A and B are shown apart, each in its own frame.
Chain A
Amino acid sequence: QQQVKQSPQSLIVQKGGISIINCAYENTAFDYFPWYQQFPGKGPALLIAIRPDVSEKKEGRFTISFNKSAKQFSLHIMDSQPGDSATYFCASLGAAGNKLTFGGGTRVLVKP
């Protein structure tokens, strides 16, 4: 199974700070890169996603940066809030579109 490597495993940030999570993928055929947010006891929910034809996508306080040549993409959470405390997963989808490959997850804790 193609790998998606995610770092860090956990992150503590003060309220108002910036949370940055990084992912690296191996398969150049991947062409869709979503980020999922998961709260305890809940299933993951799509947060924001990007396709490789753009280098950055911003939705509110959440931004994805994409570096195709380095096969890396990252999630930036600006002005982090305690309500952002959750586990975040990056994922990749190949051209066949039949399954998402997930990173290992990053547990983010935003301290008030």
Chain B
Amino acid sequence: GAGVSQSPSNKVTEKGKDVELRCDPISGHTALYWYRQSLGQGLEFLIYFQGNSAPDKSGLPSDRFSAERTGGSVSTLTIQRTQQEDSAVYLCASSLGIVNGLGTEAFFGQGTRLTVV
């Protein structure tokens, strides 16, 4: 079946504008994650959704960042009043359940490259 799909693949925006990044997880996957990958850096955890539980927002860097997941499927990451330091690749991943090393793994999308000019 289809993998994790992210759109757009590239986004250039002006400083101060709001942007929305979309993630379509693998069908049936209850867990969804957003990570940020800055140039030459590792993956920084942003937010995690699991089923109907309250999301883990502990990685969101500021209140300009928010995310929602509608109907337990598609997720949107919103960055308000974008800054140049927000430029990065935003990666979404989904898993069938909680990643536990016993057969449940996280599958990543190709990411959205955000450039704030």
Footprint of B on A, CB under 8 Å? 1, 6, 31-34, 36, 41-46, 49, 51, 89, 91, 93, 97-105
B44, B105, B107: the one within 8 Å of A34 (CB): B105
Contacts of B108 in A (CB 8 A): 36, 43-45
Answer yes or no: B91 CB below 8 A from chain A CBs: yes
Interface string of B89-108 (1 = CB under 8 A from A): 00101000011111001111
B100 touches A97 (CB 8 A): yes
Interface string of B1-34 (1 = CB under 8 A from A): 0001000000000000000000000000000010
A100 touches B41 (CB 8 A): no
Known: A31-B101, A43-B109, A98-B50. 5 other contacts (CB 8 A): A43-B93, A43-B108, A51-B101, A89-B43, A100-B45
A1 CB, nearest partner CB in chain B, Å: 7
Q: State the main secondary structure of chain B at its contact with A.
A: loop
A71 CB, nearest partner CB in chain B, Å: 17
A46, A98, A101: the one within 8 Å of B56 (CB): A98
Do A99 and B41 form a contact, CB below 8 Å, given A34-B105, A43-B109, A49-B101? no
Answer yes or no: B80 CB below 8 A from chain A CBs: no
- The interface size bin for chain B is 20 to 34
A97 touches B42 (CB 8 A): no
Contacts of B107 in A (CB 8 A): 45-46
B59 touches A41 (CB 8 A): no
B110 touches A41 (CB 8 A): yes
Q: List 23 A-B contacts (CB under 8 A).
A: A1-B58, A1-B59, A32-B99, A32-B100, A36-B108, A42-B110, A43-B93, A43-B108, A44-B108, A46-B106, A46-B107, A49-B101, A51-B102, A89-B42, A89-B43, A91-B43, A98-B98, A99-B45, A99-B59, A100-B33, A100-B99, A102-B35, A104-B42
In whole angstroms, how far apart are the Cα atoms of A43 and B43 in the complex? 11
B48 touches A105 (CB 8 A): no
| Closest residue on chain A to residue B3 by CB atoms | A43
B1 CB, nearest partner CB in chain A, Å: 16
B48 touches A46 (CB 8 A): no
B101 touches A102 (CB 8 A): no
